[in-house]
A and B are shown apart, each in its own frame.
Chain A
C-alpha cells in the first residue's frame, strides 16, 4: 500500500512540512523539504525519461507533453503584492532548469496510467519522489508506476510562476517524498437532475487530476432523466433522456473513461436501484411501482416518485441485466448499484408488489434481500465490488458481500455504525461534503427557503473533517477515503465550476495529505490553486477579496476578536 511506501522518511518530513508554507502545492505533499534559492525554467526545458525503459505508455507520453505545456502556459503571477515583481532581484542570479529526468524504480512494471488508475483501490501505486535542485542540474522524478509519475508531474507544474515572461520557481531546492494517505479521493457528479455535456465532465476530470483526485463517482441516471445510452437497453435513454441531445452515447462513455484514465482517474459508475428509478417507467412501465404518483411526498423524497418493483422476479432479472450491461461498459473494479432512500409506502400501495408478496409469502425486506443478492451477484460475477449508499447496511436487513463498500451520506455520524458492521467506508456525508447545500430549498413555494442540508458547506468545514472520528484503530482501517458530491437540482453547466471549485479541493487534500491541516496555512495555498485553475480554464471562484489573497494572513480573524 502506498501509504507505507517510504516509511523511513515520513515522520521526519511530516514534522518539517508543518514549518513551511513557502510553496503553494495542493494537495500538500506528505513530506516536503525546501530551500531559499530561485530557479528559472529554461525556454528549452524538457522532460526526459531516463533509465532502461523500453516502452513508455501513450497516456504517460501525453501527460508529459501536457506537463510541459502547463509549465509554459500557466503564466500564473505569484499571489503576493506585486504579483512577483519583488522576486525579480532573485532571478538575476538564478540558475536555469533545463530538464526533468523521469525514471522508474527497479521493480516498476510499466503499464499505462489508466491501467494503474483502474486497479483495485488499495493496489494503486501513486507514490513518487521529486527533487528539484537549485544549481541548474536536472530535476528528478522517481516512481514505481506511471500513475506515481503522473502524480509527480502534477506537483511539478504547481511549482512555477511567471513574471514578465520569465517562468520561475522559488524556495529551491525542493525535495518531495509523497504518497496519499487514503486510496479513494473522489468527486461525485449527478448528471440526471441536469445534464452536463461531455466537455464539462472532461473539464472536471482535468481539474480533479490537478489536485490528485483519483475517482469520478458518476451518478449518471436518476428518477428525473436517463441520459446513459446502454446497448440492449437503448429505449431507456431514448424515452428517458431530457432530449435526444442530452445523452451519453457508448462512444461518449468510452471517451470519458479513457480521458479519466489518462488522468489517473477511475470512473465509478452508479445506477441507483431500486429507488430513484422513476424514469425507467417511460420505457419499461411494468418494472416501476408508483411512477410519477402524486402527491409525490407520499411516495418519494423528491419528485418524481417511482421505484423498481423489486419483489417481481422479472424486474429483478431486468435490473441484474441492466447493471451487468452498464458494468461491462466501465473498466473499474467498482460499481455502484445505489440503494438509498427506498420508500416503502410506494410498495404498500402497489397492487403488483402486494400480490407478489402474498403469493410468495415474503415480506418487503425479504424480497429486497433477494433483489439485492441477485443484482449484486451480476456485478460481482463481472469481478466488480459493489458500492452502496449507507441504507443498504444500516436501514435494511439485506445480505451483502463482505467486500461491499458503503458511502456514508446521511450524516457523518453514520460512519461508526457502518464500521461496526465491518464494511469499508467512503466518506460522502451531507453535513460536510455536499456541494449543493445552502442554495435554499428548490421545492416551491418554500418560503422559509431552507434546503434539507443547509447551511452551505464551506471549504474550511470540509477541510477540518476528521475521517477517523470515534473509530477504533481497527475500524479506522475500513476508511478508504472520501469525496465531495454535487447533486444537481440547482446546478447545471451554468454554475458547475463555481459551485465545485475550489471547494472540492478541500477533500482532495484532506484524503491525500491526511487530516489536521491548518486552515490559515491552507487558505493561502488554496488561493494559489484557485488562480491556477482559472488560468487553466476552470471558473474557480475567489474565496476572499484579491486584497486578502495577496496578503496571506492579513484577513484572518484576529485572535483578539471577541466575535
Chain B
C-alpha cells in the first residue's frame, strides 16, 4: 500500500520482502591499507581505489576528505558529482558488505537520494566503502530546525517554502518506501537542504532493506510500538516509518519543535507513548502548548493540516493507531491542498505565510464580524470590544455558548460557526476547494466547495472539466486530447498519486477501499461525519491523477453508490474521434430534420 505511482514499480526493481532479521556479521580484518585514514579533514588523499557496481569495475581517485561522521569519512573523487564514504576499520563488517552489495544491485535513481551505487575496494581488493552522488546544502539540524539559523541561511524563507520542502522530502520517501526501502533513522543531520525543491538524503547505507535493519535511531522519531527495543534487533515497519515521517513534517512546519515537547516536564518519549500532543484543535483547548511562537505558528496552519497532525499524534484520534497513520503520498495530498489554499489564507490574514508569525491567526468576531487577533491567554469568540459588551450582558453570553451544540465550525476556513446541516459558511461556499486533473484534457479544473459537498453527499465524483463535460468524447482518457506537458508527466511520476484503481486504506474505517480515477469509492465506509466535514479527503494532486482518499459519507452499510460519472458527455466540437464525428453528424441530422419539419409545417415565408 502506501505510495502508488502512475507507473507501478516492477517487482524486480524492489528490494525483497523479508520479515526475518539477518544475524549480525563479523568484523572484516583488513590486510591492506585503509584509504585516506591518515589525513585530516580538508586535506587531499590522492589515493587510488577500485569502484565496482554489478557490471563495471573502475579505478578511481580519492581526493579531499570533505566530512567525517561516526562511521567513516566522506571523500570527493575524480568522478564528477560522486563522493566516496570510507568506513573506519571497526565498522567494516560482513553484514555491511552483504547489505551494500544488495543495495547497489537495484536501480535506485531518485534525484537527491545519495544511495550507494558502487562498492569501493582498497589496493588489496578488500571492501572499504561505497560510492554515491554528492550532496549539497545544509543539514536540517543546522538550518530549518533552528529559527535563528533558518533566517540566517535562508533569509527569504516563508511558510510556503516549508510546505514545498515537505512535499520535496515526501516525494523521496514515496520513492524509497515504494521500493521497500525504510529510511529508519530519520535524523536532522542526514537530510541536507539546498532549497525547498532541492534536498539531499545522505547516510543511505544505514537504511533498512530486506533483512538488514537500520541499526540506529533517536527517541523523537521512534514510534511508541517500538517500546524501547534496540534498533538493531528488529525490522522497522512502514508504520514506524510513517510515525517518523509525521514527526519530521511537524518539525519542518514548526521549525525544530518536536510534536511531543509539552509544558509539564514529561520527556518526549513519555508523551509519545501516552499520545500526549500539546496543540489544540477545534475547541479542545490545552494548557500544554509550549509558550512563545509555537501556538501562533500552529494557529496559522490550514485547518486540514492541523487536523492531520492532531489526529496522528493524539491518542484516541483517527490516525493515531499505527495502521491508521498517513502514508507519504497521503501527506503529499494534504500539503498540496494546503498550498492551494495559500491565496485565500493570505487574503484573510496577511501573516498566514510567515514562518514566525507574531500573533494568533485572525478570527472573525461572532458579533460584529470584524477580524481580530485573539488573545492567547483568554479564548473568546468575540473581538475585545464585543467581548467587553458581552460581559456586561451575561444573558446573551449564554446563548452564544449554547450555539456550539447544534453548530459546527466551517470545515473550509475553520473560523465561522455554521448550522450543523450546512456544508460550508457563506464566505466559503463558492471558494475553490481543490484543483483536479481532468481525465480527458489533463488540465486542472477547480472543484468548488459546493461541488465538493455535493460529491460527498452523492458519492459521485466529477472527473472532467466543464469544457470536456460539454464537448468531450466518450473514451476515457481521450486518445485525442492534448498530452500532458512533459514537466507535468515527470512530476506525476514522482508525486505519488493514485492512478486508476488502486487500493487504499479508508481513513475512517481503516478498511481497504478501492478508489479510482472515475471516482466511485467502494467499500464499507462507516461515514462518521456529515457532508463536507473535514474528514472527507477528496483532494487534488496538482499534476498527478485524481485520487480519493476519503470515504464518502453517504456510502454506508457497504452499499456501492455506483454510477459512472465519467461516462456522460454530449457530442461536441470534437477532436475528430468516431464519437465526436457521430455526435456532429447527429446534430447536423437533427438540425436538418428540424429545418425540414419547420419548413413543412409552417411553409416558406
Tell me whether A and B are bound partners: no
